[in-house]
Amino acid sequence: AQSVTQPDIHITVSEGASLELRCNYSYGATPYLFWYVQSPGQGLQLLLKYFSGDTLVQGIKGFEAEFKRSQSSFNLRKPSVHWSDAAEYFCAVGARNNDMRFGAGTRLTVKP
């Protein structure tokens, strides 16, 4: 069965520090991979997505993610976190002819 796991429910980092949010998936087919961000009371905004090709994907707001097929992972990274990055982050996985599945989310707190 297809599933998405975000192992970290809550992460706290200091402003200016680097960030890595983990995402692991289980899918039978070649997946489409997404990272979304949700600010309080808002809908989801797409940060980046991976379909094929280069396994390192650049997104908006300085985020990037790397697809590692051997580890079934699609971790999100940012070299220097800003206070405005505090939000909830969702990894999502889809595949041809399947609906999209979301991870449980990781809440990011940024310390000044």
Which one, 81 or 94, has the nearer CB to other proteins?
94
Smallest gap, in angstroms, from Cβ of residue 49 to other proteins?
A: 6
DSSP 52-76: SS-SEEE-GGG-EEEEEGGGTEEEE
SS3 call for 60: helix
The pair phi, psi for residue 6, each rounded to 5°, is -115, 105
Q: Indicate the residue among 25 and 90 with the shorter CB distance to other proteins.
A: 90
Smallest gap from Cβ 11 to other proteins, in A, equals 17
Q: Using CB under 8 A as the criterion, which residues of the chain lie in contact with other proteins when the complex forms?
A: 32, 34, 36, 41-46, 49, 51, 90, 94-105
Minimum CB–partner distance for residue 57 and other proteins (Å): 13
